[in-house]
Structure 1
């Protein structure tokens, strides 16, 4: 498995390279965003690890450009910034996972293996249109409409809504959302999931009389038509 590591801190980059090489991965290093972008587009990597704060091009812009051209390649972001807003920004830029420095090498390896396993065993979708109440989601075109009105969602908002639509009228815990929507066991922080739920509510519920996403105190959330 080929992994591209984009990290401007030479010591951190070499530690990651050594740790991953010991696990049998083939590692290529880049020390700035532009070099990382060039390598990502030239070489077929199985996974990309990038810092956010990089010279020449920051990791957020880099991830957005990589995601546009290479939508199937998993991206892990490394950063010293660990607030909820920072995580949201990272995921919206296209990251699949987010690791806050300092981190243990074994934790990074676990995250890598989870993402590579998901990549090699993509979920099978039996139909590409999901509908509940007056929401219609097309999994191929990524178009979401409610009452014939198109709704623009970020990639993570789209995935979160898809999970709700695939599990309607069932209480879903925050832990399940973190594991199933983000497909990993990272520390989401106390309000990370709630932030995304609020984003989604503003887009699919705020301008409509009938609310669909409801909070079950102490348990989680449920997609359900109000009676």
Structure 2
């Protein structure tokens, strides 16, 4: 059941089987004006997300019926724009990377404070796209075209489906072609200027963005794909496509 506070425009689906944590987080979110549905299993959580529109999913990894990584992957595939924050007792880097690579936007390691959770939510929600340029205004580099207002990406005649953070990362870089953009600048623009999580999030998102663009390039006739260049110790740069051999 959804419980609502003073404002109900942000709906949060909490998938957590721990009774103490669940009650604490549900009460804290509700007291700050979020609409909350608390579900205790992965399967029920997926069903709830399909039944009711949801803005944010807070997802425990250690669920009784399925692994939270699989739930994150299914949520991201079915609901590309939902904000997914993982709540986990697993602090190993490999587990964190697996969660982010499955589609999560962020994670908190248990035990965490409600204050930190609320701060993370505010930071992510501030980054939600607002009305900006008119749809149809394309930024092109080679055969890559990005419509920032419509949040669409095309490579040649093929539309490329990107996750929210992948698109926002590409949007920052394509507006600065050939410019070295620092890790700190990318974290501030794509995540938040007060980000206090690990920059590993950036690397995982960049890796996924590269894979999606490369897969789109390989699925069609040859296209001129810009290069996402890693600048060790600094950040990333979007370089124009290399000319064909002999060109």
Is 1:93 aligned to residue 108 of structure 2? no
Q: Check whether the contact 1:213–1:222 (CA below 8 A) recurs between aligned residues.
A: yes
Question: Equivalent residue for 1:25?
Answer: 34
Change (3 A) 1:160 1:84: farther
Question: Equivalent residue for 2:234?
Answer: 219
Is 1:124 aligned to residue 132 of structure 2? yes
Question: Equivalent residue for 1:187?
Answer: 197
Q: Check whether the contact 1:63–1:94 (CA below 8 A) recurs between aligned residues.
A: yes
Is 1:60 aligned to residue 69 of structure 2? yes
Deviations along 1:65-103, one digit per CA (max 9) or x if unpaired, are 333443333222111234444334323333232222222
Is 1:39 aligned to residue 54 of structure 2? no
Question: Equivalent residue for 2:5?
Answer: none
Deviations along 1:106-143, one digit per CA (max 9) or x if unpaired, are 11001222333444x53535345432134344676955
Paired residues, what number? Answer: 222
Q: What is the RMSD of the two structures over their aligned residues, measured on CA atoms?
A: 3.6
Q: Distance in 1 between matches of 2:89 and 2:35?
A: 25
Q: Check whether the contact 2:72–2:104 (CA below 8 A) recurs between aligned residues.
A: yes
Q: Check whether the contact 2:59–2:86 (CA below 8 A) recurs between aligned residues.
A: yes
Q: How does 1:125-204 map to 2 (within 5 A)?
A: 125-128=133-136, 129-137=138-146, 144-145=154-155, 148=156, 155=163, 156-183=165-192, 185-189=195-199, 191-194=200-203, 196-197=205-206
Question: Equivalent residue for 1:6?
Answer: 15
Which of 110, 113, 119 is the matching residue for 1:104? 113
